Amino acid sequence: MREKGFVLCTDVAERLGVNKGTVYRWVRDGRLRTVNFSGVHYIEWSSVVAMLEQVGPILGINAGVPR
């Protein structure tokens, strides 16, 4: 799924250097979009980038995040 622009919660947490619970909260709060493929929820990477454009500078985690 990564080649199609979708990643797992653990992937997002690892790449951003945050706890996966934080990523789950972002999903629950509607900051990140998810899709369900065969019972597994994937996060749209484009929604991660969009969120970081807004709050990344505040959190200090936007540098070096690939699109």
Q: How far is CA 62 from CA 15, 19, 37, 41, 52, in A?
A: 10, 16, 28, 24, 6
Q: What total of structural domains would you count in the chain? A: 1
User: What is the domain range of residue 28?
Assistant: 2-59
Domain assignment present for residue 31? The answer is yes
Domain assignment present for residue 16? The answer is yes
- Phi, psi angles (nearest 5°) of residue 5: 90, 20
Could you read off the pLDDT of 46-59 as tens digits, one per residue? Answer: 999 888 887 766 66
Domain assignment present for residue 67? The answer is no
Domain assignment present for residue 54? The answer is yes
Domain assignment present for residue 9? The answer is yes
Domain assignment present for residue 66? The answer is no
Tokens for 50, please give them.
């969009």
Could you read off the pLDDT of 31-44 as tens digits, one per residue? Answer: 999 998 888 889 99
Domain assignment present for residue 65? The answer is no
Residues above pLDDT 90, as percent of the chain: 45
Residues whose CB is less than 8 angstroms from the CB of residue 34 and which lie 6 or more positions away in sequence, other chains included: 27, 41, 42, 43, 44
Task: Determine how many CB atoms are found less than 10 A away from the CB of residue 34.
Answer: 14
Domain assignment present for residue 18? The answer is yes
The model's pTM: 0.74
